[in-house]
Amino acid sequence: MLAFNFLSENGTGQYLDTGAWSSKAYKEAAGLGNAEVVASSKEANYNYIPKGYAIDDNADYFHCTSNNTIYGTQIKEFPQTEAPLICDMSSDIFSRPIDVSKFDLIYAGAQKNLGPAGATLVIVKKDALGKSGRYIPTMLDYNTHISKGSMFNTPPVFSVYVSMLTLRWLKANGGVEAAQQRNEEKAALLYNEIDRNPLFVGTAAVEDRSTMNACFLLNDEASHKEAFDAMIAEKNISGVNGHRSVGGYRASMYNAMDLDSVAALVDCMKELENKF
């Protein structure tokens, strides 16, 4: 959808390739027109965020993904560029303060920190639209949805309603600033244990570690996986298996996850160390 709205017939969209979702976004744009990857961490299994790359100020746009759920990396500082800046923030929206004025388009699926799957949040500068010079299918044109107050088609009312409730909960609990403090506390608790415990190792570069998704491995999976999985099950901890494409473990610590739940996982890690 973003490529239709921003990629001109003879222009170029530039992409930072940091994981599965940024790669998919690039693929879709490349099927429509000129798209290029300015930097990628694919060669290292996406375990870091590329730095020091150059962005063409004359590009139609520059696209990045702020948080990479599968690989556990997160952009800490966004690049400065004269090109329109577009970001997929699906997995860390509302987890930390963001200066939205620096972006021409932010889009995010609701299903992580906002609400149930089915709704998408879009923040777009109106004056950035209508410049692609190409025909845009009606449903894919952001101006269509803006002109109809986001109700051009029947909206997913349940997802939108729950998103409203979630935003009220977020506001009542200190807003995004307080959410960031809680998220950093949870992440620090888990990453400190990963680094301290000789049985575990983190997979992402330390400076790029995600506060939303901590990915880690057992140093000796053959000897310890069965025991660790049993401990996790006994504590009623679920959903910590790594993505099927990378294996290992992944603790997703979205806004709704409380500190006690992270502490329960850390206790299992300590128990495993004591057992061996």
Q: What is the mean pLDDT of the chain?
A: 96
- The answer, yes or no, to whether residue 276 has pLDDT greater than 90, is no
- What average pLDDT score do residues 196-217 get? 98
Residue 246: predicted pLDDT? 86
- The answer, yes or no, to whether residue 244 has pLDDT greater than 90, is no
Q: Would you list the DSSP string of 210-247?
A: -SSEEEEEETTHHHHHHHHHHHHHHTT--S-BPPTTT-
What domains does the chain contain, in order, with CATH numbers?
2-171 (3.40.640.10), 175-275 (3.90.1150.10)
Residue 1: predicted pLDDT? 85
Has 169 been annotated as catalytic?
no
Has 21 been annotated as catalytic?
yes
Has 88 been annotated as catalytic?
yes
Q: Which of 17, 112, 141, 186 is catalytic?
A: 112
- The answer, yes or no, to whether residue 169 has pLDDT greater than 90, is yes
Percent of the chain with pLDDT over 90: 97
- The answer, yes or no, to whether residue 235 has pLDDT greater than 90, is yes
Residue 47: predicted pLDDT? 97
Q: Which of 17, 60, 88, 208 is catalytic?
A: 88
Express each pLDDT in 21-76 by its tens digit: 999 999 999 999 999 999 999 999 999 999 999 999 999 999 999 999 999 999 99
Residue 20: predicted pLDDT? 95
Edge-to-edge strand ranges of the sheet holding 85-88: 34-40, 12-17, 61-65, 85-88, 105-109, 120-124
Express each pLDDT in 67-96 by its tens digit: 999 999 999 999 999 999 999 999 999 999
Residue 103: predicted pLDDT? 98
- The answer, yes or no, to whether residue 135 has pLDDT greater than 90, is yes
Burial 48-62 (b: 16+ CB within 10 A, else e): bbbeeeebeeebbbb
Residue 259: predicted pLDDT? 98
Express each pLDDT in 84-131 by its tens digit: 999 999 999 999 999 999 999 999 999 999 999 999 999 999 999 999
- The answer, yes or no, to whether residue 249 has pLDDT greater than 90, is yes
Cα–Cα distances (Å) from 161 to 12, 131, 254, in that order, read: 38, 33, 19
- What average pLDDT score do residues 152-168 get? 96
